[in-house]
Amino acid sequence: MSSLLPDEYLPYLNLLPDIHKVANLFMTFTPVFSYGTTCWGIYRKQTSMGFSIDICATMLMASILRINYYVISPYEVTLLRQSIMMVLSQCVLLKVSLAYRPANYDPDFLTPMPVFRNELNAFMPRRMSASFPAEHESYYVDNSLTKSAQLIINDIVKWSKCYVITIFNQSLKFFDVYYQRPLRFWQWKEEQYYWRFLAQFVVVFAVLTAVFHNSTPYGQFVGISGLFIESLLPLPQILLLNRLQSVKNFKIILLLSWLGGDCIKLSYLFFGAENVSIIFIFAGLFQMSLDIYIAFQYVHYKYHGTDSDISEVVSSGSRDLNYLVEELVKHDVESIPMAQMV
């Protein structure tokens, strides 16, 4: 750049701020910019309807684990500062969201989580769910050991596939605000339970980190767990759009901001940061892939879907199934997209 300027202007370049320092400062306060507007919007409208507090749970746990990981294996200090600011921002956002949550919120009205065995039997072929592996006679084919072994192997593969798919589907339901989670996790009605869980989470991992800070396996567990939790942030939004089959009232500017944030994060990790672990890059790529999937959902439901006039999704889970069905039939309510970080 200096070669493009006349010599008399070169001294003025020293007055410009260091680009690397500016980038570090921007990365540090990104959580404040991203979630400060969400917090202000909830306060201005006096309601948190449409905002999923699952976002607070995801980012708080991920950031706390990332802070613990720094004690075990120090990384770029800017990312540590960002994690601290994220914890502070999410605590404020959680406080405001709970304060302006709908008064009729009650987790008891949520649909119970399907029983795993019932889901498995419904997905598995009837012969296997009823007889595998009890009825061995069905595996004897023309008195051929080879054919019998092949049939058994094929059924084992099908049986294993059914288990994997059922486990995956059950795991996705945990992120779906439509279902009642075990122990009502992060669906409690009283505010004190949220802060109690966070306090216990902090204390448990602080003690474990103090004891096992020299343990490489523990450090890998903490680092990977934190990044994995954070990378799952878009899942609730994906499930919401999939349930609605519509993007009505879903703002394209939000989607663009998420994708822009992913690009900035990955650019910083690739070119602006030093001593960055590969798991940070992997988690960033995985989260960006989920945001790209949301972009495909938007295009599909906007231009190729029904995009009906259904107008409200009870994302806070405050109404029972029968009421929700009645409202969907009447088409009286309006879908509200969940907020998500940049």
Q: Output the DSSP codes for 163-194.
A: HHHHHHHHHHHHT-TTEEPGGGTT--SSTHHH
How far is 181 from 179, CA to CA, in rounded Å? 6
Q: How confident is the model at residue 236 (pLDDT cuts 50, 70, 90)?
A: confident
Mean pLDDT of 230-252: 75
pLDDT (tens digit, 9 = 90+) per residue, 311-323? 444 333 444 444 4
pLDDT of residue 60: 95
pLDDT at 341: 35
Percent helix, strand, coil in the chain, to 5, is 70, 5, 30
Least confident interval from 116-130, 148-162, 177-191: 116-130
**Burial environment of residue 301 by CB neighbours within 10 A (0 to 12, 13 to 18, 19 or more):** buried
Structure tokens that stand for 217 in this block: 């396996």
pLDDT given for residue 127 in this prediction = 65
Distance CA 174, CA 181 (A): 6
pLDDT, one tens digit per residue, over 269-315 is 777 666 667 777 888 888 889 889 989 988 888 887 655 444 444 33
Which residue did the predictor score with more confidence, 89 or 247?
Answer: 89
Whether the pLDDT of residue 100 is over 70: the answer is yes
- pLDDT given for residue 278 in this prediction: 77
pLDDT of 182 higher than 60: yes
pLDDT of 197 = 97
Per-residue confidence (pLDDT) for residue 138, from 0 to 100: 63
pLDDT band, very low/low/confident/very high, at 139 (cuts 50, 70, 90) = low
> Which pLDDT does position 335 carry in this prediction?
35
Distance between CA 202 and CA 87 in Å, rounded?
A: 11
Q: Dihedrals φ, ψ of 111, to 5°?
A: -70, 130
Mean pLDDT taken over the chain: 77
At 15, is the pLDDT very low, low, confident or very high (cuts 50, 70, 90)? low
pLDDT at 16: 55
HSE at residue 197, side-chain half, CA atoms within 13 A, is 16
Maximal C-alpha separation, the chain? 96
pTM (two decimals) = 0.71
- The arithmetic mean of pLDDT across residues 332-337, rounded, is 35
DSSP assignment, residue 1? -
SS3 122: helix
∠ CA 175-299-233, rounded to 5°: 25
